[in-house]
Structure 1
Amino acid sequence: MGLNTLNSKYFCLYCDCDSSARWNINLKWKINKNTQSKKKPELFPAIRQENYIPDELHLLLRISDVLMECLFNDLFKKKDFERLIKSQIEQAMKFINVHFEFFKSKFHSEKWDWTSLMGPDKKKVLQHFPVTNFVSGKCGKNIQELWRNFYDLYMIIRRLSLTDSEIDDLEVKVKEWIYLFCRLNQRQINSSSQTPGLYRKEDVTPYMATCMSFHNIVFLNSYEI
């Protein structure tokens, strides 16, 4: 469509949402055109914009990448990652029949990379990987909930047919999911304890925001079978 990349300020194919607002599920972005992005020649000018539909497989692959990266980046900071946690994660993956290993980055010797998983293995990881074995307390439970709930959302999105009430329910669940992903620390009433937030607003990706939340519901309604 001749637009900028997903990491640009105005990234969306369908609207003028900018990168600083993509976490805000309370905003409404009408499907029209991106008028802010710097235009480049279109690859397929014969294809009309309304015929570009988000692909649920890309939602699965890209969002699961973010979930795994957020978890692993936190675990890399632990002093016993290389000595202990690394092998524990690899064993946990093996237990759910996923071939997975960490290895030193070819470009940054102090950083870790990991096996790139295909769709079927990512589904197994989202469903069965024991996040709470590696992140304790409420935070670990919430992160594991993010993984499990995203898998459930993906399975709903890829159904051949949804009723109007199911689409409405999906919209609510997607917003709840994004809210949990980037929720701030919450202080308990009459207590000094806090419920920790999980990730930054900046970690909400275009696939989470515009494809899964802002616009996907419209497409489900428009192209309902």
Structure 2
Amino acid sequence: MIPIENIIFDELHALLRITDRLWELMLAEIQENGLFNDLTRSVILGEMQRLKVSFHFWEDEKSHVWKYTSLMGDDKKTVLQFFNLKLLFKPSRAELIRKLWDGFYELYCALRNKNTDPAQLKQQSLEWLSLFLTPSQGNPSRPKTYVRGLYMPNQITPYMHALVYHGWELLEKHKRWGFKAFSCSAVEKKNHNQVSTFFRKTLKNGGDLLKRKSAIQEIIEYENRSLYFNYNVLSKSPKVKRIRIK
């Protein structure tokens, strides 16, 4: 087992996973308000088109759950920085969510900068977490005075915890090299190419929601079946599917 003091989280995955979480929470709020309809989806698609980000919604035929394109890192950065939330929310609400998104991007940039002061990053991270946990004010039954907060403690993800409570520690410990020296961006790119090629570049991540199988599980099961037929004498065997990744 790797000692805990020798573990460092990848800054790229922190960006990807936390951005995913912020996007999910934003869409969940729209659904909670009963506004996740064709018009809203059209507005989101229009904004993505303005940002020159390839993005699509589709309804799963079996589960009837609305799903959407998994974005690459650069596209996630674009959405995180420039998506116009005022198209979907009232100005005050949009400004609060935008402040949270901007605050996270600032943390990400600070984490990548080896010249960042760890003490300052710690304070900045705690302030961002406090913003994430902004409580509601007033009585929900009185809409005129009620101000909705942001999110709950149980909506914090492990990457958020790692960023807030351990990012500054790791930056201080590895200040000589910086977080970028431990980046897994090349591995992430390879994984993305493999998954998208296997599923014929649909970018739907694969996986069967009803069977609760992830994309990687489907790939492994397919490879296991191929290996079984290749190494066992059988009357019939399926043709091996060859995947070429450029």
Same fold flag (TM > 0.5)? yes
Q: In 2 relative to 1, CA 207–135 (structure 1 residues): closer, same or farther, beyond 3 Å? A: same
Q: What does residue 26 of structure 2 align with?
A: 71
Aligned residue type for 1:224: K
1:146 aligns with 2:100: yes
- Match in the other structure for 2:136: 185
User: How do residues 53-72 of structure 1 correspond to structure 2 at under 5 angstroms?
Assistant: 53-72=8-27
Higher RCO, 1 or 2 (CA under 8 Å, sep at least 6)?
A: 1
Q: Aligned partners of 2:61, 2:108: CA distance in 1, in Å?
A: 33
Superposed, 1:151-190 pairs within 5 Å as 151-162=105-116, 166-187=117-138
In structure 2, what is the equivalent of residue 104 of structure 1? 59
1:214 aligns with 2:165: yes
Structure 1 residues 223, 143: CA separation in 2 closer, same or farther (over 3 Å shift)?
A: same
* 1:186 to partner: Cα distance: 2.7
Answer with 1 or 2: which has the greater Rg: 2
Conserved? CA contact 1:138–1:195, under 8 Å? no
What letter corresponds to residue 200 of structure 1 in structure 2?
Answer: M
- Unaligned stretches of 5+ in structure 2? 139-143, 177-246
Kindly, what percent of the aligned residue pairs are identical? 35
The CA distance in 1 between the partners of 2:92 and 2:111, in whole Å, is: 28
Matching of residue 89 in structure 1 with residue 40 in structure 2: no
* Aligned partner letter, 1:153: L
- Does the 8 Å CA contact 2:43/2:87 hold for their aligned counterparts? no
CA contact (8 A) 1:174 1:213 kept: yes
Structure 1 residue 194, shift from structure 2 partner: 3.7
**TM-fit CA distance, 1:96:** 0.8
User: Which of the residues 39, 59, 76 maps onto 1:122?
Assistant: 76
What are the equivalent positions in structure 2 for 1:39-50 lying under 5 Å apart? Answer: 45=1, 47-50=2-5
The 1:215–1:72 alpha-carbon spacing in structure 2 relative to 1, beyond 3 Å, is same
Corresponding residue number in structure 2 for 1:21:
none
- TM-score when scaled to structure 2? 0.65
Which runs of 5 or more residues in structure 1 are unaligned? 1-44
- Say whether the 8 Å CA contact 1:103–1:112 is kept in structure 2: yes
Q: Is this contact kept in 2: 1:104–1:113, CA < 8 A?
A: yes
The two structures, once aligned, show a CA RMSD in angstroms of 2.0
Q: Choose which of 144, 147, 151 in structure 2 pairs with 1:199.
A: 151
1:153-176 alpha-carbon deviations (Å, 9 max, x no partner):
1011011332xxx32222112111
Structure 1 residue 79 displacement after superposition: 4.5
Cα pair 1:139 1:197 within 8 Å, conserved: no
Q: How many residues align?
A: 172
Name 1:39's counterpart in structure 2. none
